[in-house]
Structure formats: structure tokens, C-alpha cells
Amino acid sequence: MLDQKRHVDLLTTFPSLKRLLRSRSFQPGMMLLTLFVFTLVILTGLFGTPVGSRNFGIIFVWIVWWGLLIIMLVPFLGRFWCSICPIPAPGEWLQRRNIITKRLPKLRTLNKRWPRQLKNMWLQNFGFLGVALFSVIILTRPQVSAWLLLSFILLGVVLSVFYKNRVFCRYVCPVGGFIGLYSMVSPLEVRVNDPNVCLTHTSKDCVTGNEYGYGCPWMVYPGKLNRNIDCGMCMECLKTCPKNNIALNMRPFGTDLTIQKEHRLDEAYKAFIMLACALVYSVVLLGPWGELKNAANMQSIPHWLVYATSFLTFVLVLVPSVFGAFSAASWLLMKRTLPLRQVFIDFAYTLVPMGLAAWVAFSLGFVLVNGSYALSVLSDPFGWGWNLFNTVDVPWVPAAPQLIAFLQTGVLVAGLLFSVQTGYKIAREQMKLHRKAFAVMLPNSVFLILVTLAFMWLYLG
Amino acid sequence: MFREAAARMTLAVILLGLPVGIIGYRYVLEPTLNAESIFEVQAYAPERGGFSPAAIRVDAGEQVTLRFTSMDVTHGVAIGPGLDINLGHIDPGEQRQISLTFDEPGTYTYYCTTWCSPDHWRMRGIIEVRDPQNNNAASQIQPDPVIERLIEEGIDIDAVHTGSADHEDNILFELTSAARGSELIDSVVVPDELREIDWLRTHTPAESLTILSALNTSHSEAELRDVIAYLWTANSTYTADTVQTYNQNCAACHGESGNAEGLAAALTAEEPAAFGDPAYMFSMRPDVLYAKIRRGGMGTDMPNFGTLFTREETWALVDYLWSLAFEPELNE
């Protein structure tokens, strides 16, 4: 049962919100809107100016969308973006042979089974790393960005032909992986009001679908849903549930992070990858080291290969190893009462708030500085000399440059405190006694402090 | 049912209508409606490819728009020869454009005017203006009579010229002043030919010093050098545009004051010429300077500017070089 004191069901509080989310038109309508912008992004990328700062695609994807996603949507609304993301839309509509209304009793696919070995986050981890290796090029070259996004949407369509539901979103999408991880921090969740109602409900309409909607496209059984990571917030379960048992709760931040029985190595590695990438990006993209930027920008293949090797070693080996050493210290402090692997994985979840804070801090650095480009490219999305809204000559003006360092510091400190608190909760679950838990969490806290100091050094110099 | 139909219609508009509409407008409708040809030219530093495209073909009489976009570092764009078009600096990501009509067939050059890389001078593109009545007519490159004559005379344009090796001489030369020469000119016997522009352009100041010394034994050599400085600068044709041309195209190596200490001086194969050094300039012929500018310097990193400047612009530039040498107040 839910802790009713700390959770507020928004659907009960705001009936109009419930009506909106139950409507079959709302989600496809939003997806059509984002698909329109997405198509414009592809077109401007392929046919517009190759100058990133003058191209709608680059500015609206990597500054406007990214800023909204990582600074606003993920921390506060979790996976809400996944519910309106245009990338899986064509594939999903192809499976359903309809956009809004439910026409077919079953999805039209080749009904292949997704391999059991891939029912985890590893593909998303490596997909993200693959994109990250080329990120400097992707972020600055509109054509490369456009082809990448186009390949995502085509992959989504191809997978939807072979496999039912949103296999692409759940197991493949490199963006979806970290949105899922960080959505566990978010104060918004889709859950059932009473799991016992689900247990006694035999038809399980939320899984099988009914005349009001489809079975969960994310292949989740809402009755046992206890973390945001796999829920795409599509609200299909709200439409199909005949028991009126679905809730959209406001809750304390980070509630999912301490559910230790769900902790997994693939998710732990996602936390390492994201934190380490935030550090590398801060060094490469915001740092004063031009040679490093040139190497990441593939100015010469040998230099890039050195960069790529160093990058992968840092992300996949060095950061987890150093973290592992601190986990081993915790393990020794708890007198080896739990397997080291479990301690390592459990404490990796303390990196989730810290990683999200690091990404928010990193993104603040360039979103506020470059946000004003959005007005200019809105009037001339292709860089063809248009002036649609009379804003093409709006000069580039960094927003609140004197505040950025303070904001970054505040976010990083908040992330640190949140992570330390998460570490304590995890240790408390492991050790039960406050004094022992406090001792066990100390090495992890030291690691978190060191990482925070590293970010602060980079941002405040 | 209506909502589904509307959604499908919207989807069709987004996935088909939007691409077809935008691409159709850009590549079919706009060129049809607009008589003006638009050329998008992307400017990269030379090691990244320079101008893209590096060659443009247009018809004489056709109105064209050239839109330059800087893709990496700050560039500058000018078009010559003889068009007096300078678009100024273009910062990364910025665009500058110009609409113009080429009246006569011929070949023009668009070139970078800002030191953007060690290979900056390679950053050039060609505009070939064709005769619409005769598309096959290739533009003829006219030989330059000044360069032709130097070759006939057997003058080595690339010969190394140095100023006096004598330190005291150099110090004396540094004091050479056209302003003082203008005060002395009436007291000095100057043969008429030394006042003729054709003679001045084909001889060195050192040769005129020999002539004047024989005719003016009562004047010191320093005084005669001042008079010669006056003669070489009296009929200067350079303007403020010439100074800008020098600063944009020459100063990176030769220095704004002609001291051969420009930012790129250390990068050149040979030490750049010091036009501000009167001792060096006393051994130079104006027509050789002209030829070096237009044809470039063999074995040095001196590029050719003959495709960028008209002959008149080149002579004005040569005149400015004499002023750098003989009008020290220019640099004060």
C-alpha cells in the first residue's frame, strides 16, 4: 500500500487532468506536434545551413530540447518526454494501424521474441557510449545530427515491424536509457492505488488491452510497478483499467532509488556512464583545452582514436574501479556481511542524483549561454535568409552569465546532499542500525564529495 | 472517426507535405519565381578546404547574390579585381551577402582578407563570368606589359635584394625624408627624365642618386636622398582604400609599417621584404615591386595578387610602399 501521507494522486485531485490523460487523442496529439518539430529538425539538418548556431535542428535539439529535458522534464516529470517522443510514433502507429482510436484487437507485427539476454539496459548503455564518442561532431554538424535522428526513427519502425510494443524505447533507445534511470529521482510516478485490486483482477486489461486501449506498450505490469525506470507514462493503463486503480502520484524525490531488490548491474553501469560522461563533456566542451576538443572533433583519426580509447577506459574502467575501491571500503566496514558485488551495485544508485545534478549543471553552462540563438533560428530555420517572425537579427546574448556559476554550484551541492542521503538510506537498509549504516556510507560519501569537487573545479576554476 | 481521419491527415502533412513543400519551394519554386541566382559560399580555413564552392559560373548581365558564411573562424571577404567590393569580417556562423551584376565577361576572384590560418593566402575562389551570347568563349588572360618588358630586359624578378650592409649607411638611410626633400627640390638640379613617371617606374632610387650626385656636387648625399624620396612619392596615387588593401593583404607578413615583422613573418620561407626600410627600397625598381605583387615571388611565400587587384590598384599599392619607406611620419 502506498504511504498516503507522502503521495498525492493528481488524478483524484484534478479530475480534468484525469479526463485529459484518459482521452485517446491527447498523447497522439502531442506526438504529432513533436513529430512536426522533429521533421523540421531533420529537414533543416539535411538541407539547411551547415553552421550549427544558425541551424534550427542543432539549436532546437541540442539546446532547447536538451535544456528542457534535462533541466525541467526529467527531474520533475520523469519519463513524461517518452510519452510524447516522436521517435517511436510511426512504428507504434504502424503496429496499431491507427493513430488515435483502437481498431485492431492485436498489434500487427511479425511477433518475434526479443532475446532474453537483451532484456536489460546494456544495449542502451553501449548505444549511448557510441553516440557520446561522436558527440562533438553530432552536436555541431546539422547533417550528422539529422542522420542520427533519422536512423533512430527508422530503427524504431524496423523494430516495431519485428517486435510487439515499444521494444526500441525499452531496450534500445540511448536517450530512453538515461531518462529512465534519472526518472527514478522524479517526484511523479504512475502506480496502482491498491496492488491487491490487481492481484484479484483476473483479466489484467492493463496487460492484454481492451476496447479502451492497448496492453502496456512498455511491457510492464502496473500491479507490480514500483520504479519509474521502465514506465513510459503513456497512460494506456489508465485507459484500460476497469477498476479505476491507476494513480499519478506526486511523491518525494528519489523514492525509487532505495528499492534494493531491483538493483541491477546494467543500471549501475548506466549511472557510471552518465556521471563519467558529464565529467568528460564538461572537460571537452566547456574546458579550455583546445587540443582535446580538436581530438574529440575528429580533426585527425589517430588523435580521435586516442581520445576514444581514453574516453572508454575512463568511463567503463577507471570510474567504476575507483568507485569499486570505495565500495570495497564500505564492504570491509560492514564486515563482509553482504556480497561485495551487491554493495557495489547498491551504492552505484547514489550516483543517480549526483549524475542528474552534474548533467543539469553542465547543461546550464551552455543552455543559458546559447539559448538566445533559438529566437534567431526560429525566424530563419534553414539559414536561407528568411525572417519569418522578425527575430532573425536578435543578437546572441548569454542569459545571466554572472549567475551561471552560482546556479551550477547550487545544483551540484543539492545533488551531493541528495546522493549522500540516498547512500545513508541504502546503508540503513543494509545494516539496519544507524551507527553502522553511518560508518558504511562514509566511503561512498567521500567519493561523492570528490566528484562534486571535481565538477566545481571545472566550473568555477 | 473524424479524429482519426484528422490525425492521419496531419501525419500526411507532416511526413509528406512538409518535406515536399519546403524542398519544392527551395529548389523549384524559388528559383522559378526569382530571376536572381543565389550562390551559397561556405568559408572554411584553407586547411579545411577554403571556399566551397571555389568556382562559380555566372552570365554577364545576370543579377547574382553571393552569400558567404564563415564555417569555422573569422574570415573576411573581398571580390576583385576592380570591383571595390569588401564585405568585411565574417565571424563564425555569420553571413554576409552581396547582390551584383557583372557587366563584362571575365574572371574575378573572391578572397579572404583576414588572417585566418598560416595558409590564409590560399583562400580564394573564382567567379567566371561568361558571355551569354557565346558560352564557349573562354576568357583570355591578357599578358601584363610591365612583366613582359622586365622579362625582355632580362631582369630577374625574384633576385634577392638587400639594403646596404653597412650599419652607418643604414642609420643614415633611416633619416631619409620626402618632406625634407620637398623643401630642397628647388635648390637641386633634377633632369626632366627623373620627374617622368615612366622613368621613375623603371629605375631604382640608387640609380637616380648617381645621376643627381654628379649634377649637384654642393649637396650632401643625405640631402640628395631626401630629394629622391620626394621624387618617388610626389605623384603617389594611393588612397585610403590602398592602405586598407595593404593592411588586409600584405601587413600579416610585411608589417603595417613595412617593418617585415607582421604576425606571419616568422612563418614564411624567406624573410619578408621590409618596405619601411629606405636602404632596401633604394635598391628596388617600382616595376619589379609591381611584378612581384601581381605574379608572386618564386621560392618565397609571396602569393600572386594579379587576379585580385587591377593594374591601377597594384601601382597604387607600389606607391604606398615608397611612402612607407620615405614618409616616416606615416608611422608616427
Amino acid in the structure at residue B73: V
Does B138 have pLDDT greater than 60?
Answer: no
CA distance B172 to B184: 17
Q: Which three cell numbers stand for residue A57?
A: 535542428
For residue B36, how many other CB atoms are within 10 A of its CB? Answer: 12
Nearest chain B Cα distance for residue A297, angstroms: 13
Interface A-B: count of C-beta contacts within 8 A: 61
Q: Which three cell numbers stand for residue B53?
A: 564552392
Taking CA–CA distances from A50, the nearest residue in chain B reads B71
**Which CA distances in Å does B314 have to A402, B157, B238, B240, B247?**
50, 16, 9, 14, 14
pLDDT on residue A2: 45
pLDDT on residue A286: 83
**Length of chain A in terms of residues written:** 461
pLDDT on residue B166: 56
Q: Do B67 and A40 touch (CB under 8 A)?
A: no
Q: Do A25 and B3 touch (CB under 8 A)?
A: yes
Q: Do the strands A213-214 and B51-52 form a parallel or antiparallel pair, or are they unpaired?
A: unpaired
Grid cell 558485488 is found at: A341
Q: Which three cell numbers stand for residue A160?
A: 516495431
pLDDT on residue A236: 96
Count of alpha carbons within 13 Å of B272, Cβ hemisphere only? 26
Count of alpha carbons within 13 Å of A67, Cβ hemisphere only? 15
Residue B77's DSSP bridge partners are B88, B112
In sequence order, which residues have a C-beta less than 8 Å from that of residue B183 and are 6 or more positions away?
none
pLDDT on residue B33: 83
Query: φ and ψ at A141, to 5 degrees?
Result: -110, 110
- Residues from chain A that touch B23, judged by Cβ atoms under 8 A, are 43, 47
Amino acid in the structure at residue A117: Q
Q: What residue spans of chain B are helical by DSSP H?
A: 2-12, 18-24, 30-33, 145-153, 167-174, 178-184, 197-201, 205-215, 221-233, 240-249, 251-254, 278-281, 286-295, 311-326
Q: Hey, what's the torsion of the CAs at A139, A143, A147, A150, to 10 degrees? A: 90
Cβ-count burial of A386 within 10 angstroms (0-12 exposed, 13-18 middle, 19+ buried)? Answer: exposed
> What are A109-127's pLDDT values in tens digits?
999 999 999 999 999 999 9
pLDDT on residue B169: 59
> What are B77-120's pLDDT values in tens digits?
999 898 889 999 998 878 889 999 998 888 999 999 988 888 88
Q: Do A51 and B92 touch (CB under 8 A)?
A: yes
Does B303 have pLDDT greater than 80?
Answer: yes
Q: Are B213 and B227 in contact (CB under 8 A)?
A: no
> What are A184-217's pLDDT values in tens digits?
999 999 999 999 999 999 999 999 999 999 999 9
Q: Do B23 and A50 touch (CB under 8 A)?
A: no
For residue B269, how many other CB atoms are within 10 A of its CB? Answer: 9
**Which CA distances in Å does B107 have to A134, B71, B129?**
42, 25, 6
Does B271 have pLDDT greater than 90?
Answer: no
**Which CA distances in Å does A198 have to A247, B62, B314?**
13, 76, 90
Nearest chain B Cα distance for residue A29, angstroms: 8
Element (H, E) at B101: strand B95-101
Pick from B163, B167, B47, B52: nearest CA to B110: B52
- Residues from chain B that touch A98, judged by Cβ atoms under 8 A, are 4
Domains and CATH numbers, chain B: 36-130 (2.60.40.420), 145-331 (no CATH)
Grid cell 546494467 is found at: A266
Grid cell 555569420 is found at: B94
CA distance B289 to B302: 12
Does B253 have pLDDT greater than 70?
Answer: yes
CA distance B263 to A379: 40
- Residues from chain A that touch B51, judged by Cβ atoms under 8 A, are none
Task: Answer left, alpha or beta for residue B93, where phi above 0 means left and psi between -120 and 50 means alpha.
Answer: left
**Long-range residue pairs from B190-194, CB within 8 A, at least 24 positions apart, any chain:** B190/B215, B190/B227, B190/B231, B191/B215, B194/B231
Taking CA–CA distances from B92, the nearest residue in chain A reads A51
pLDDT on residue B266: 85
Pick from A320, A345, A154: nearest CA to A266: A345
CA distance A350 to A415: 10
pLDDT on residue A12: 95
- Alpha-carbon A157 to chain mean position: 21
CA distance A171 to A126: 11
- Residues from chain B that touch A29, judged by Cβ atoms under 8 A, are 7
Nearest chain A Cα distance for residue B299, angstroms: 30
Q: Which segments in chain A show pLDDT lower than 50?
A: 1-2
- Residues from chain A that touch B26, judged by Cβ atoms under 8 A, are 47, 382, 384
Please provide the average confidence, as pLDDT, over all residues in chain A.
94
pLDDT on residue A1: 42
pLDDT on residue A148: 97
Cβ-count burial of B133 within 10 angstroms (0-12 exposed, 13-18 middle, 19+ buried)? Answer: exposed
Task: Please give the full DSSP string across B181-204, using - where no structure is assigned.
Answer: HHHHGGGS---GGGGSHHHHHTS-
Amino acid in the structure at residue A2: L
Nearest chain B Cα distance for residue A38, angstroms: 10
Count of alpha carbons within 13 Å of B258, Cβ hemisphere only? 26
> What are B142-198's pLDDT values in tens digits?
788 999 999 898 888 877 766 555 555 565 566 788 999 999 999 999 999 999 999
- Alpha-carbon A81 to chain mean position: 9
pLDDT on residue A297: 87
- Residues from chain B that touch A24, judged by Cβ atoms under 8 A, are 3
Pick from A203, A209, A206: nearest CA to A191: A206
Cβ-count burial of A271 within 10 angstroms (0-12 exposed, 13-18 middle, 19+ buried)? Answer: buried
**Long-range residue pairs from B288-291, CB within 8 A, at least 24 positions apart, any chain:** B288/B150, B288/B155, B288/B157, B289/B318, B289/B321, B290/B146, B290/B201, B290/B314, B290/B315, B290/B318, B291/B144, B291/B146, B291/B147, B291/B150, B291/B157
Q: Do A93 and B11 touch (CB under 8 A)?
A: yes
| Of A28, A40, A54, Cβ closest to residue B18 | A40
Query: φ and ψ at A360, to 5 degrees?
Result: -65, -45
| Of B19, B42, B71, Cβ closest to residue A43 | B19
Interface test with B, best of A94, A153, A384 (most B CBs within 10 A): A384
The answer, for B42 touching chain A at a CB cutoff of 8 Å, is yes
| Of B7, B92, B95, Cβ closest to residue A32 | B7
**Which CA distances in Å does B58 have to B101, B111, B247?**
9, 17, 30
Instruction: Give just the sign of the alpha carbon dihedral B9, B10, B12, B13.
Output: positive
Could you give the 3-state DSSP secondary structure of residue B73? coil
Nearest chain A Cα distance for residue B24, angstroms: 12
The answer, for B19 touching chain A at a CB cutoff of 8 Å, is yes
**Which CA distances in Å does A303 have to A11, B45, B47?**
54, 20, 17
Pick from A248, A344, A272, A236: nearest CA to A128: A272
pLDDT on residue B95: 84
Q: Which three cell numbers stand for residue B202?
A: 623603371
Could you give the 3-state DSSP secondary structure of residue A419? helix
As for the ipTM of the complex, it is 0.92
Q: Find the distance separating the first CA and the last CA of chain B, reported in whole Å.
A: 84
pLDDT on residue A78: 97
> What are B25-57's pLDDT values in tens digits?
988 998 888 777 889 899 999 988 999 999 999
pLDDT on residue B111: 93
Please provide the average confidence, as pLDDT, over all residues in chain B.
88
Could you give the 3-state DSSP secondary structure of residue B129? strand
Question: What's the mean pLDDT in B274-282?
Answer: 90
Amino acid in the structure at residue A133: L
CA distance A170 to A91: 14
CA distance A364 to A250: 26
The residues of A whose Cβ lies within 8 A of any Cβ of B are 24-25, 28-29, 32, 35-36, 39-40, 43, 47, 49-54, 90, 93, 98-101, 382-385
